[in-house]
């Protein structure tokens, strides 16, 4: 099955929620853990235990593991493996973007099943030109994996690039969305090439109907609400994958409390269907 088909199936069975597992130092301390590899491992694997059996996808942010070097990456490998064993898809948040052989190396590292970090999908940046993502696109197709391409992010610096207009009048974000729409054309039940669109961007005049999933960070603790999702995405709500991390993770270190938080969040999001 393609990534788009697997994600659609998981969302229909488990609800649309994507749970972020971002073990930054402040959260480790909130859980009573040291900011060490041991604390990282306890945090991350407890979060997997509490969340992965109950959500469509889990999104680990690679940077919070990489900061511990090879031992942190080894924990990330376990997060990927144990999330998949629990039945959730893995969206690895790496935001890679480069050209040529370097892009291919990144694609092989995160999308090739031979890699210990192989994930169902990754986040990528198109701002070296959408064509620079070619190795990611082809590798994803070859391995039935997916991509989530940055399009309309909610950081305050984003509009400087994303709202800029090209000679043809399209915004950079609009151009990215057009490319994704072309990649997903004719795919059923939806394509495997998604866009990242923040829940707190306030509004957009762009057409986000790309026949692919929309990964929407910022739901929950960062201020995004169900009302925001309805307003921003309208008729494309069924393709929205809201991502929440802090709102869920604050319920740790009790795995059962994490599971209950995921259940309640998915119930709230059921109104989107």
C-alpha separations of 29 from 33, 62, 104, 130, 250 in Å: 5, 19, 37, 39, 11
Please, what is the average pLDDT of the chain?
A: 96
Q: What is the 3-state secondary structure (H, E, C) of the chain?
A: CCHHHHHHHHHHHHCCCEEEECCCHHHHHHCCCCCCHHHHHHHHHHHHHHHHHHCCEEEEECHHHHCCCHHHHHHHHHHHHHHHHCCCEEEEEEEECCCHHHHHHHHHHHHCCCCCCCCCEEEECCCCCHHHHHHHHHHHHHCCCEEEEEEECCCCCCHHHHCCECCCCCEHHHHHHHHHHHHCCCCCCCCCEEEEECCCCCCCCCCCCCCCCEEEECECCCCECHHHHHHHHHHHHHHEEEEECHHHHCCCCCHHHHHHHHHHHHHHHHHHC
For 156, the token pair is: 């305050």
Other Cβ atoms less than 10 A from the Cβ of 49: the count is: 15
Nearest to 20 by CA among 272, 198, 268, 262: 262
Quick check: pTM over 0.85?
yes
- Which residue is catalytic, options 84, 95, 143, 246? 95
pLDDT value, residue 273? 67
Name, in order, each residue with C-beta under 8 angstroms of 185's C-beta and a sequence gap of 6 or more: 191, 211
Between strands 18-21 and 89-96, the pairing is: unpaired
For 82, the token pair is: 């144990």
pLDDT value, residue 220? 83
> d(Cα 21, Cα 227) in Å, to the nearest integer?
24
Q: Which residues, in sequence order, are bridge partners of residue 195?
A: 149, 214
pLDDT value, residue 237? 94
pLDDT (tens, 9 = 90+) of the chain, 273 residues, equals 999 999 999 999 999 999 999 999 999 999 999 999 999 999 999 999 999 999 999 999 999 999 999 999 999 999 999 999 999 999 999 999 999 999 999 999 999 999 999 999 999 999 999 999 999 999 999 999 999 999 999 999 999 999 999 999 999 999 999 999 999 999 999 999 999 999 999 888 899 999 999 999 999 877 889 999 999 999 999 999 999 999 999 999 999 999 999 999 999 998 776
Q: Per-residue pLDDT tens for 46-68?
A: 999 999 999 999 999 999 999 99
> d(Cα 79, Cα 193) in Å, to the nearest integer?
23
For 161, the token pair is: 């690039």
Active site includes 95?
A: yes
Query: At 231, phi and psi to the nearest 5?
Result: -70, -40
Contact 208, 236 (CB under 8 A): yes
């Amino acid at each position: 099955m393609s990534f788009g088909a697997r994600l659609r199936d998981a969302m229909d069975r488990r609800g649309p929620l994507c749970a972020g597992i971002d073990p930054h130092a402040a959260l480790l301390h909130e859980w009573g853990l040291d900011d060490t590899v041991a604390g990282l491992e306890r945090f991350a694997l407890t979060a997997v235990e509490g969340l992965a059996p109950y959500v469509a996808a889990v999104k680990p942010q690679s940077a919070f593991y990489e900061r511990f070097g090879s031992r942190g990456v080894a924990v990330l490998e376990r997060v990927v493996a144990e999330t998949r064993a629990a039945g959730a898809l893995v969206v690895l948040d790496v935001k890679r973007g480069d050209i040529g052989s370097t892009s291919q190396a990144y694609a092989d590292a995160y999308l090739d099943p031979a890699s210990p970090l192989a994930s169902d999908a990754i986040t990528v940046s198109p701002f070296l030109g959408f064509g620079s993502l070619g190795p990611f696109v082809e590798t994803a197709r070859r391995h039935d994996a997916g991509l989530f391409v940055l399009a309309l992010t909610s950081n305050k610096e984003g509009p400087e690039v994303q709202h800029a207009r090209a000679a043809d009048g399209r915004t950079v974000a609009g151009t990215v969305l057009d490319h994704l729409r072309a990649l997903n054309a004719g795919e059923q039940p939806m394509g495997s090439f998604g866009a990242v669109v923040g829940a707190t961007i306030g509004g957009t005049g762009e057409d986000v109907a790309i026949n692919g999933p929309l990964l929407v960070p910022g739901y929950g603790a960062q201020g995004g609400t169900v009302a925001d999702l309805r307003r921003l995405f309208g008729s494309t709500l069924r393709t929205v994958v809201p991502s929440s991390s802090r709102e869920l993770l604050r319920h740790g270190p009790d795995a059962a409390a994490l599971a209950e938080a995921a259940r309640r969040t998915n119930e709230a999001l059921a109104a989107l269907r």
